[in-house]
Amino acid sequence: MTRMRTLNNQLFFNRWKMINLVFLINLMAFGIVMLIDVVSNKMTFKLVMFDKWYMYYMLLTFVAYLVTWVLLAKDNEQVLFSSKYRMIPITEWKLYLSNMLSSLLALIYFWFLEGIVNTIFGSIQANHFLVGNALTSILYTKAYYKLPNVDMTVRSFIIGFLSITLVWSIVTLVHFLISLISDKFALKKKRVIKYVLYFLITYICLMIFNSTVSGVFVLMYGDGFNVLEKINSMLLTSIFIFIGWIVVLTLINIYLLKKHIETDY
């Protein structure tokens, strides 16, 4: 039997290469933007340009992040529908979890790479302010580096992470259900029906999700939440709701993968 770690390494390696490529393109695009900016400023270099460049970089990173997210989601789906992976002697739940885990690790790796560039920018900006105005810079850098609330930051980060997992799980469920329905019934105008199904299933998932989440929040915070602690505990509740949904969707997806889902190629 193939070990989960072995499969995970294989899946992560492919995604690692993909992330490196996206990051490289991101940096190259940023380099071109910087070059255009310098050329349009008649080859003069000003410290203030760093702020603008940082803004450009953030914008490009946001685009790169979206591209990465979509590519990983696509790769996730391809693994589950490919004979290359489905032939391997490993249980469906190990295949599913390895797939999801390696995508999440790849995303963390992307964040890590972007984090390095951000830190470099941050340190350049801090030095830049020190050159300009000592007092302002001390106040600014202190504010810049001061974390507003460690708990809230950590919880927000976890929610971000969980929401990505949740959306990927929903995408897989939708893909599985479409494949299942197409396999069971002889569908004419398959493409149109697929899109209608995609819309319907997404709508139903969102409705169920929305009513559950809002129901829980109304029960818990019916009197409003304008206090920091309440926001913090709301984040904690969200984490539990997200985990619950991920577990439910994962179980459904693994069941469908095991019993009904066949490969496309």
Partner 1 sequence: MSNVLKIEELNYKKGGKKILEDVNLKLDSGKIIGLLGENGAGKTTLMRIIAGVNSVSEGVITVNGNTKKILIKENVSLSDHLDGFKATNKISEIVHFYNAVYQDFSITKYEDIANFLGLDMTKKLAALSTGTRGKLVIALTLARSAKLYLLDEPLSGIDSISRKKIISSIIRWKDDDSTIIISDHYVTAIASLLDEVVIIKNQKIRDLIPVEQIQSDYHLGIEAYYEKVYLGEIQ
Q: Residue numbers of the site for partner 1 (CB under 8 A)? A: 1-2, 6-7, 9-10, 78, 82-91, 182-187, 259-263, 265
What's the CA gap between 162 and 239, in Å, rounded? 7
Q: Of the two residues 173 and 246, which places its CB atom closer to partner 1 in the complex?
A: 173
Q: How far is the CB of 79 from partner 1 (least distance, A)?
A: 8
Q: Which is nearer to partner 1, 19 or 166 (CB)?
A: 19
In this complex, which beta carbon is closest to partner 1, that of residue 162 or of residue 261?
A: 261
User: Which long-range contacts does 246-251 make (Cβ < 8 Å, 24+ apart)?
Assistant: 246/162, 246/165, 246/166, 246/169, 249/166, 249/169, 249/170, 249/172, 249/173, 250/96, 250/97, 250/100, 250/169
* Nearest distance, CB of residue 200 and partner 1, angstroms: 20
As measured in angstroms, the least distance from the Cβ of 259 to partner 1 is 6
Residue length of the chain: 265
23 CB-contact burial (10 Å; exposed 0-12 / middle 13-18 / buried 19+): buried
According to DSSP, residue 185 is labeled: S
What is the C-alpha R_g of the chain? 23
Q: Where are the alpha helices (DSSP H) in the chain?
A: 4-40, 49-80, 83-86, 92-132, 134-145, 150-184, 190-220, 228-259
To partner 1, the closest distance from the beta carbon of 218 in angstroms equals 42
Whether residue 56 contacts residue 38, with contact meaning beta carbons closer than 8 Å, is answered with: no
How many angstroms separate the Cα of 263 from the Cα of each of 100, 215, 244?
18, 38, 29
| CB of 209 or CB of 255, closer to partner 1 | 255
Nearest approach, Cβ of residue 234 and partner 1 (Å): 42
Residue number with CB closer to partner 1 (146 or 184): 184
To the nearest whole angstrom, how small is the minimum distance from the Cβ of residue 21 to partner 1? 11
Q: How far is the CB of 69 from partner 1 (least distance, A)?
A: 20
DSSP codes, 104-155: HHHHHHHHHHHHHHHHHHHHHHHHHHHHH-HHHHHHHHHHHH--S-HHHHHH
Question: Closest CB to partner 1 among 18 and 164?
Answer: 18
Nearer to partner 1 (CB atom), residue 9 or residue 41: 9
